[in-house]
Amino acid sequence: MDNLTQLINKIKENDASLFHKDFLLTWDKSDDELKLVLDTADLLQAFYRKNLSARCFNSGLAVSQFRDNSNLDEGKSQIAHGETVRETSNMISFLTEIIGIRDDMFLGAGHTYMMEVGKALDDGFKEGVLPQRPGIINLQCDVDHPTQSMADLLHLKHWFGSLEHLRGKKIAMSWAYSPSYGKPLSVPQGIIGLMTRLGMEVVLAYPEGYGLIREVVERAGIQSDHSMGSFTIVNSMEEAFHEADIVYPKSWAPYHNMERRTTLLNNNDQAGLKELEKECLANNARFKNWECTEGMIQMTKDGNALYMHCLPADISGVSCQQGEVSASVFDKYRIATYKEAGFKPYIIASMMLTNRFEDPAGVLEKAALTARKL
Amino acid sequence: MDNLTQLINKIKENDASLFHKDFLLTWDKSDDELKLVLDTADLLQAFYRKNLSARCFNSGLAVSQFRDNSNLDEGKSQIAHGETVRETSNMISFLTEIIGIRDDMFLGAGHTYMMEVGKALDDGFKEGVLPQRPGIINLQCDVDHPTQSMADLLHLKHWFGSLEHLRGKKIAMSWAYSPSYGKPLSVPQGIIGLMTRLGMEVVLAYPEGYGLIREVVERAGIQSDHSMGSFTIVNSMEEAFHEADIVYPKSWAPYHNMERRTTLLNNNDQAGLKELEKECLANNARFKNWECTEGMIQMTKDGNALYMHCLPADISGVSCQQGEVSASVFDKYRIATYKEAGFKPYIIASMMLTNRFEDPAGVLEKAALTARKL
Amino acid sequence: MDNLTQLINKIKENDASLFHKDFLLTWDKSDDELKLVLDTADLLQAFYRKNLSARCFNSGLAVSQFRDNSNLDEGKSQIAHGETVRETSNMISFLTEIIGIRDDMFLGAGHTYMMEVGKALDDGFKEGVLPQRPGIINLQCDVDHPTQSMADLLHLKHWFGSLEHLRGKKIAMSWAYSPSYGKPLSVPQGIIGLMTRLGMEVVLAYPEGYGLIREVVERAGIQSDHSMGSFTIVNSMEEAFHEADIVYPKSWAPYHNMERRTTLLNNNDQAGLKELEKECLANNARFKNWECTEGMIQMTKDGNALYMHCLPADISGVSCQQGEVSASVFDKYRIATYKEAGFKPYIIASMMLTNRFEDPAGVLEKAALTARKL
């Protein structure tokens, strides 16, 4: 029984289904649903590495919507906003199987918007406007970044051998200094919202004032209890890195500043925005020592923790004067971070496939048989 | 005999052919040619709803060209313009099956340009530059908007049961107030240029001074005579809506203002353009009562006419303070307008298919057989 | 034995292989490798003209990267530049078969960049980041423009009957006047770097001061010796055109000015750039008589040389007041230049195919058999 068959059987034995379910937040999915995504991603990678065609769509569109400031309907009333969402959602969906949405700029906006789109698509399908209800995949919102965190998890699974091997491993999700400002919170939130389900020892570290959205933090706590792992918040990078198996040093903006920024942007208050940026950069600068240096890595398990990053990283002396990680540390782990990133296309493809096909393993099994005959 | 087979047979019984004929104006096509497009669109929709692949192209490109101000070769001599059209038309066509062109900004420019492209492609094919003569589809010009009007007609056919059921139905194509300025005339022209062929009672309504291109209006009159319908122009929305089965309230700019605008744009006269906009908006404002309200709908047949719009509509109190349609009327017909829009992709696909294949029904019949075997 | 079979056999008899070899410079390729590209392009054209599908990719991406000023990492240190190249090259390559790069703005930058990308891809593949090593195709760099020169050569092959028929033919690659400034050197360099290998009499003509990169000029000399042709540089368009079989009048910027421009751009010296432009245009204006007129064509072999251009040309009295070619000359050869351009898509497709398949003729033979069965 070869590798493909093993993977196909593993997926078939999994009773979970993501058929016609949007993928917005990892914590809305069951463990088995997450495993379905991971295993299908592995299978797609195996197809690609064997040069087997995994083509399963003969028609249909995948649409990407990247929302930013200009889409924000500034000054628009709530009713006008709702009308636009309903109309746009239906107009882009007549022949569409999947809509990927990225909307990470404004706290309170991204996830809410994706839910609104989902509701509009439900109505459009129910009313007979749409021949099918397209699936939605969250490509990054204000709350979660599931394609990133799931790619990160798949990387960890391969690095340590299995999901089971992650149990008891210590992961430090740590704030790190960056000379830039306003980086979203979705990566650290995605990490603590996912890794606390694996029985891991999850430590979240940040300077006072750089906290994350309360709901995600609370959920991380509950999940770590449930998975027999742990979840701790500390205000010291050193403490987080101590004996860690994995470190994820990454800058983000403080939650309350992101809220102020959203208000200022909605009011188009340019002076206020300038002032806020100045304040934030000055505040950031107090924590320049939050850098992942060789010395910091020395504190980790056997001085050899796995370094992770969603890329691009702010590398001291390379992409900036001083940043999240020293050049020598990054250099050592560059290839590992590239591999980490390399799981993302398969995760996204897996989310698309499991959304559109009731029996994804069967579809790929058939594709494999056809491909082999050729 | 199932639905697919019935549709295929219906198309096969139609002797008309659009093979290698550009689709620029509906009134250049025979009734049977229009039916061919409608029926093929129905067939493509049936394929999609049955999840059957209607893929018939294995290679070849479809190119969309959206011309606006910046393409207008301002100040360019006619000879330079001609050289550019010839070169561009050939350069984008080496592997191209279909060119869709949208050029609706300037009176006298759009249709003329599409004819020039057609001529350049004829020459390129004749001279052996192009291995095939790509087909041109008008995605909106200054004169007609055939993909919209044909989608509208397909919507009416489904709403009322058949083309025959449209005979004697009253449709009010009415100007409506909008706070914006310079909307093209191609939608109302497309509607009167098509619906007068169906034996309908077509009423065109607008405030004095908001007339359409003379040639289209004349043609609408001739066609309504020929189809035993009627075509009337009135200066009252009320009169148009009275006992109407269908209403299409939609803003457009007065023809003579569009002419002035074209001249000003060609001269790059910014002050003149500002002045014209001011004048136009002031003039528009005199007709704010041209709004499709509940009261207006009450005047229609059984107070229940079908409301149509090409979207997006200017909805009073939603997308603008006061506009073409009241929020409650739009709300009642929102789903109907989405369905109306939903026919457009199939109409465009049908125009592509009938242009490239001599026997479109045969091609799709073969595709259906192959798909069923899978 | 039909035309397809003949072409397939011709390719099979050629022992050369471009499998997994980047196509950056024609002079890095053997004569047989160039013939492989030309013959495969011919075969692809034959497929297209017979309406046979030459589809051979079931998955995989082709990525185009167009680098300009904004990508130039101004002010970036060399180490930061290297990091960006490594990361970008890998991130765009996870599912990618071919990367086409155009980078022709800065002397010393384009070819160097493509080599860096190649190195980064080699590393990524070796380290297991990339499941395959994507091929690179040079879509125009500071040194060569192989997709253009190879399309030009294929045009000549068809025009004169065979590559053998080109032996002894005189081609005049001549500078010509243009009112614009800063046109790249890659076309003339590509032409002299390729045509000197065919046993042709290659004459390069330009006003004093408009020389090309020394290495390419030297290579052209060596190649012409080797191919028993000739390579001459003259400072007179008349001399170059005298008894020429082929003329290629085309403007370019003087090499040393391009070097000054690169330095000024790197320093973001706007005043210096303005000054340089003024100087260059003034200098250009001294050579307005370098125009391909009827009189100039009269000097060529039988007054009937083949005129070539990569398009768009600066046509006197059409696209500019005075330019590279007179309107009447261009008019006579318009169709020929369109045909010349028409070979480019097949050349690019051929470069992709020969890079990805070890046995391109076998792959297309199989495609032909399948297509015929349908």
* Per-residue pLDDT at B2: 78
Q: Which of A78, A72, A71 is nearest to A266 (CA)?
A: A72
Q: Is B246 helix (H, G, I), strand (E, B) or coil?
A: strand
Measured from the Cβ of residue C292, the count of other Cβ atoms closer than 10 Å reads 31
Note whether A128 contacts B55, CB cutoff 8 Å.
no
Residues B306, B180, single domain; the answer is yes
Q: Which of the residues A87, A127, A369 would you substitute to probe the B interface, choosing the one with the greatest number of B C-beta atoms within 10 Å?
A: A87
Write the pLDDT tens digit of every residue in C10-30: 999 999 999 999 999 999 999
Number of domains in chain C: 2
Q: Does any CB of chain A come closer than 8 Å to the CB of residue C107? A: no
Among the listed ranges B212-221, C132-141, C247-256, C288-297, which one has the minimum average pLDDT value? Answer: C247-256
Q: How far apart are CA B95 and CA B80, in angstroms?
A: 25
Tell me, what's the ipTM? Answer: 0.93
Q: Model's pTM, two decimal places?
A: 0.95
User: Which chains does B contact via 3+ CB–CB distances below 8 A?
Assistant: A, C
Q: What is the pLDDT of residue B106?
A: 79
Q: Which domain holds residue A271?
A: 148-342
Is any Cβ of chain A less than 8 angstroms from the Cβ of C94? yes
Cis peptide before C312 (omega within 30 of 0): yes
| R_g of chain B computed on alpha carbons | 21
Q: Where residue B233 falls among pLDDT bands split at 50, 70, 90?
A: very high
Contact between chains at C311 and B87 (C-beta distance less than 8 A): yes
B280 vs B173, more confident = B173
Arithmetic mean of pLDDT, B117-130: 98
Residues A260 and A354 occupy one common structural domain: no
**Co-location of A130 and A158 in the same domain:** no
Separation between Cα atoms, residue C135 and residue C115, nearest integer Å: 12
Same domain flag for B351 and B313: no
C331 and C359 in a single domain? The answer is: no
Say if A329 is an interface residue toward chain C (CB within 8 Å). no
Q: Which residues make beta-bridge pairs with B180?
A: none
Whether residue B153 sits in one domain with residue B265: yes
Chain B contact present for A90, CB below 8 A? yes
Same domain, A182 and A160: yes
Does one domain contain both B321 and B332? yes
Rounded Cα gap, residues B141 and B164, in angstroms? 29
CATH number at residue C193: 3.40.50.1370
User: How far is the C-alpha of B31 from the C-alpha of B227, rounded, in Å?
Assistant: 11
Which residues contact residue B93 at a Cβ distance below 8 angstroms, ignoring those fewer than 6 apart? B63, B99, B121, B124, B130, B134
pLDDT at residue C374, as a whole number: 47
Contact C79 A339 (CB under 8 A): no
The pLDDT of residue C56: 87
Give the rounded percent of residues in chain C with a pLDDT score beyond 70.
97
CB atoms within 10 A of CB B53: 16
Predicted confidence band of residue B374 (pLDDT cuts 50, 70, 90):
very low
Give the model's pLDDT for residue A374: 47
Q: Is B16 on the interface with C (CB under 8 A)?
A: no
Instruction: Note whether B317 contacts C: Cβ–Cβ < 8 A.
Output: no
Residue C221 CA to its chain's centroid (Å): 19
3-state secondary structure of C59: coil
- Partner-chain residue, chosen from C79, C90, C131, that has the shortest CB–CB distance to A49: C131
Per CB-CB distance under 8 Å, the chain C contacts of A327 are 79
* B93 and B159 inside one domain: no
- Which stretches of chain A drop beneath a pLDDT of 50? 374
Q: Which of B58-67, B217-226, B312-321, C115-124 has the lowest mean pLDDT?
A: B58-67
Residues counted in chain C: 374
Q: Is B86 on the interface with C (CB under 8 A)?
A: yes
Q: How far is B335 from chain A (nearest CA, A)?
A: 7
Q: Does A78 touch chain B (CB under 8 A)?
A: no
CA distance A72 to A80: 12
Q: Is there a single domain that holds both residue C15 and residue C61? A: yes
**Looking at the structure, do residues A211 and A68 belong to the same domain, yes or no?**
no
CA distance B333 to B323: 16
B309-332: average pLDDT: 96
In Å, how far is B187's CA from the nearest CA of chain A? 18
Dist. CA B278–CA B294, nearest whole Å: 30
Q: In chain C, how long is the greatest CA-to-CA distance? A: 66
**How far apart are the C-alpha atoms of B16 and B11, rounded to whole Å?**
9
Shortest CA gap A86–chain B (Å) = 10
CA distances from B243 to A129, B228, B298, B301, C254 (A): 28, 19, 9, 4, 76
Instruction: Give residue-wise pLDDT tens across range B134-144.
Output: 999 999 999 99
B295 interfaces chain C, CB cutoff of 8 Å: no
Shortest Cα–Cα distance, C364 to chain A (Å): 15
Q: Do C338 and B131 touch (CB under 8 A)?
A: no
CB contacts under 8 A, B 152-181 vs A, are: none
Q: pLDDT band for C373, please (50, 70, 90 cuts).
A: low
Is C31 in the same domain as C11? yes
Q: Which of B45, B55, B335 sits opposite A59 (nearest CB)?
A: B55
